[in-house]
Structure 1
Amino acid sequence: MTTPEYLSSLNNRYRLGNSTEHTFRGDLQQLIESLIPEIKATNEPKRQSCGAPDYILTKGEVPVGFIEAKDIGDSDLIGKKKSGHKEQFDRYKASLDNLIFTDYLRFVLYLEGELVTEIIIGEIVDGSIKPLPENFTAFENLLKDFVVHVGQTIKSPERLAKMMAGKARLLADVIEKTLKRDLDDNLNPKTSLEQQFDAFKDYLIHDVSTKGFADIYAQTITYGLFAARLHDPTIKTFSRHEAAELIPKSNPFLRKLFQFIAGYDLDDNLVWIVDSLVDIFLHSNVEEILKNYGKSTKMEDPIIHFYETFLSEYDPKLRKSRGVWYTPAPVVNFIVRAVDDILKTEFGLAQGLADTSKTTIKLNTQTPDKRSTTGYKQVEQQVHKVQILDPATGTGTFLSEVVKHIYTKFQGQQGIWSNYIESHLLPRLNGFEILMASYAMAHLKLDLLLKETGYIGKSNQRLRIYLTNSLEEHHPDTGTLFANWLSTEANEANHIKRDTPVMCVIGNPPYAVSSTNKNEWIQDLISDYKKNLKERKINLDDDYIKFIRYGQHYID
């Protein structure tokens, strides 16, 4: 099909008087694939109902451009008048770096969110479409250039974080719409997405909403790709299937979760976004972006750029509701040194945070025992005495500072450092986090820091940072029915909450006056602080007070 043939076909349909934007979709698809045979222009109504652009242009399996179409003559093509159009326009412009808006006659090109050019190939005159042949060559060149767009090399953490946030926001929106559609369909068997939603509620975050699940899902894919790209030795190639093998084994939960949700069975509604996200990382040398991480002379941590910039771009309300604010490095350093000093002076532990002494605890096994007061057989187990927990670990700033502080005691003793980490540090360094983005970055930060200190792992021991809600009591250990890696994460977090004799509760709790943590367990604990208190001018439901009460619970 040529451009004149395309306009002739549009005109024949338009003159019938009953056309909609859907009427002309086949014509534009046919024109694009005729002008550029190596390109496939996919138009799937099922995807569009979940938030995808009208056309996804792919070369091989890689998306190279996107087109959003409105009805012929639509005066609000770029969303200046209708609220629904504006929301869609802003969302696509922020998350898709190579995008055309069209009413089939007018084509408006945006690259990296910026208006580049506009070309009109026809206009409506007396109820018919009049071609503008003087613009045909420019139009055809526009389409050909459009599909060979190559993203610029991304060199700054801020820019990469913003681009990741745009894709993740679009991904979360599509996931939520797809899940709601699936949940409303009671006739067909549960989809994979529904089963995963149920598993998250059963094993991990029990009050998760469809939006909350979509956030976790989108951030898992985004930060899974980020972590994989950081460990990718082949800079010129990258794919989501390659990524599944590159995520560090020190984070088995993210590794398995990513393999499951971004593997070969990835929901068809999500493939196009994930593959376009892969393209962003293909144009990023993540290792180069993070090359200054951990240098003592560098006060600004690139990981923090990713965390704060990503979250403020992705969902500033989520950041506020969870009380996410960065703790300045000097404050973190002071708190860690103060705890180290208290352990030495008040507890008689000469090595402070580096102490390797052990204590004996009693654990309830799963074996019933009528003679026991608990109803289960008890066994004794030796564990390290100085157990450290950051219950709101964020990107792992405090735990990283603990590692740096202890490392100063091993200067000149590199030969025993790796063994010390595996035998006496990792088994007692614990963290809880509820936001997937910061959870993934905490793992990444500690992984990078340990390698920088010269640590060479031999046992593939996992970092004891878990995705969980600190302010929920431990739950009964779960089985291994569906997604047993989900239950493993929950069970290991349970082990810390229930059995581990935490000695140091350290960190900066979230500040959120309108606390989202209102489960019965923490509300019962905080009630101790409210006894005989007429609570009119003071609010004790702020999350930071709940975390202080939580810390007291461990010390008690």
Structure 2
Amino acid sequence: MRKHLLESFDKIYILDLHGNLRKNETCIDGSPDQNVFDIMQGVSINIFVKTGKKKKNELGEVFHYDLQGKREFKYDFLTKNDLKSFDWKKLEIKSPDFKYSEVDYQLKSEYEIGFSIKDFFKISNVGFTAARDNSLIHFEKNKIEELLNDLNSLTIDDIRTKHKFGLDSRDWTITGAIDDINSKDDRNITRVNYRPFDIRFSHYSKKTKGFFSYPRWEIMQHFFNHENIGLIATRLNRQQSLGYFWVSNSIVERHILDTAGDSTSFFPLYLYPENNSQQDAFGTNKRIPNLNPDIVKQIADGLGLSFTNEKETESNVCFANSDEVRPEFRQSFAPIDLLDYIYAVLHSPSYREKYKEFLNIEFPRVPAPLDRVEFMQLVKLGGELRQIHLLESPTVEKYITQYPEDGDNIVTKPVYKNGNVYINEGQCFANVPQVAWNFYIGGYQPAQKWLKDRKNRELNYDDILHYQKMVVALNETDRIMKEIDKIKI
């Protein structure tokens, strides 16, 4: 579209008034940047000029001006100026992006030396779409069992009323869900990674426009009843944060990182044969890495290591101490090491800041590791992050918060005050670090969103422990990210 406009017009003037509340835009000095209208989306004034003098294959010129500040300042500035009085900056427009903004092309060339995760993982796709999240995805397993029973026994009108389905849509209907349930002999109730740290339950079927509108079986089959892990990342995002990355060992919903994250994709580490009867010589299902062999070979050659499809035992490797293998004695690396390396790089604050203008418009690119010691250091830190984010690390059970007061445990309006997170007027999680409360993963702040999503619900014992694990995990993520930044990438 941008290229077509450049072919059609001689000059394009873009007066960017900013004010995007969805991105929490601020001025360069950190002061508030207000929208000129009472809307969330940022605003610009665009003037397209066509004189007929431009040659047929010639591209037009683009001029840009930024105007930020408070609303009244913008009104006053616009009133006192005209097209000729603005100090327009002529933009350098290059193929293939034809971006209408300033781009550091030298930095872009440096960034593009790395490999794209889209190329690194052979297959990927967006997460599943339920189309009726509140009715089809639940906190408790027994709610899904009740729903399945009702789909088999109640009338359509009764189902629609009891489970608050609303009207049918193009991609989801009650009859489609009923037909899907009736066509199956068993019930596939499974864990669903709905949001960061938020695991819920649903029934899973591979039929499109059945129980789910788009189950994305081609990806989720490698997690359904299989041991696997996958990287989650976005191609486009709203820039609520610089951290649109996550991991999961279960099926994931498409908006796991952001409600506007239609481009959120799931990259499995391993692929399983669709027919579970396909077994190797040892009688087990044989999985294969979902990795580009050419890029893997490039990494192996650069590090001087061999690649193995599965993590090898390290009993025959020299140890620096009782629990850590010295990098110089490692002879091989496995798919999980590569995922952990990538995960560490994506959590480097300096990497995110340096390449932020590219990370929000395409899948991230990661530099190929060349130094064995630095590679293993990043693998170690990335592995710690992965285990913490999956709440599998023993570290998350070393609670740094308390839940001191008795009460009904019902979440009303979560409030952070004096280092405590109050779920209602009388009960709180005490000593919650502010960094954990405000920490962003994608477009969400998990310590806040997890509670907001449970408004008017009673937290049970497991919920209380889970929240305290989340706080540890978020606090540790901040610490490990700082450790990652000490390593040259």
Into which bin does the TM-score normalised by the smaller protein fall?
Answer: under 0.3
**Which has the higher Rg, Structure 1 or Structure 2?**
1
- Which has more helix, going by share of residues? 1
TM-score, normalising length from structure 1?
0.21
TM-score, normalising length from structure 2?
0.23
